[in-house]
């Protein structure tokens, strides 16, 4: 297997794996290699550095070093940046109610809880029931934030 860094005619860069260099050439000639971002079949190999393993002493030195805190990776595309901005706006302007979203939305709608913007999680059946009851809810294209530790 060989990995190539590829670039399309719209200047999108992406990686792809091929069985061999000949397999890449054959697939490209057949028009079967397309940009992962825009779908363009005008794709060329891009300049890439070989993957070289560091010396064993360097690996041991890296393992012994205390890892510094690093910021989260920047969004890879404009769509990811837009979703990140949407998440930030929602989190800044509404209250997170977690798994009790359906119950809290009903309570607000019925006047048993103070009127406010909320966000949280609901099952598809709960969301469908809320919509059928006439509550103004919308599904968001965001995954819930989870602790990884």
Q: Which residues pair with 7 in a beta bridge?
A: 13, 44
B/e letters for 104-126, b = 16+ CB within 10 Å, e = fewer, are: bbbebbeeeeeeeebbbebeeeb
pLDDT, residue 46, reads: 83
pLDDT, residue 142, reads: 76
pLDDT, residue 17, reads: 87
Q: Give the start-to-end residue ranges of the domains of the chain.
A: 2-45, 78-132
pLDDT in tens, the chain (149 residues): 888 889 999 888 888 888 888 999 999 999 888 888 888 899 998 877 666 677 666 656 666 655 555 455 666 788 888 888 888 898 899 998 888 999 999 999 999 999 999 988 888 899 889 989 988 888 887 776 665 55
pLDDT, residue 71, reads: 53
H helical segments located in 94-134 = 101-110, 124-132
Give the dihedral of Cα atoms 53, 58, 59, 62; nearest 10 deg: -130
Distance CA 74, CA 71 (A): 9
List the structure tokens of 29.
């000639």
């Amino acid at each position: 297997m060989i990995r190539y860094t590829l670039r399309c005619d719209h200047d999108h860069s992406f990686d792809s794996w091929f069985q061999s260099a000949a397999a890449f050439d054959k697939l490209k000639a057949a028009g079967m290699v397309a940009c992962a971002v825009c779908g363009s079949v005008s794709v060329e190999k891009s300049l890439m550095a070989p993957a070289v393993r560091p010396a064993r002493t360097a690996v041991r030195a890296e393992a012994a070093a205390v890892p510094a805190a690093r910021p989260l990776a920047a969004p890879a595309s404009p769509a990811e940046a837009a979703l990140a901005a949407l998440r930030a706006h929602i989190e800044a302007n509404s209250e997170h109610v977690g798994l009790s979203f359906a119950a809290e939305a009903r309570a607000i709608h019925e006047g048993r809880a103070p009127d406010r913007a909320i966000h949280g999680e609901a099952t598809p059946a709960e969301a469908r029931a809320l919509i059928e009851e006439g509550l103004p809810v919308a599904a968001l294209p965001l995954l819930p934030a989870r602790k990884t530790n």
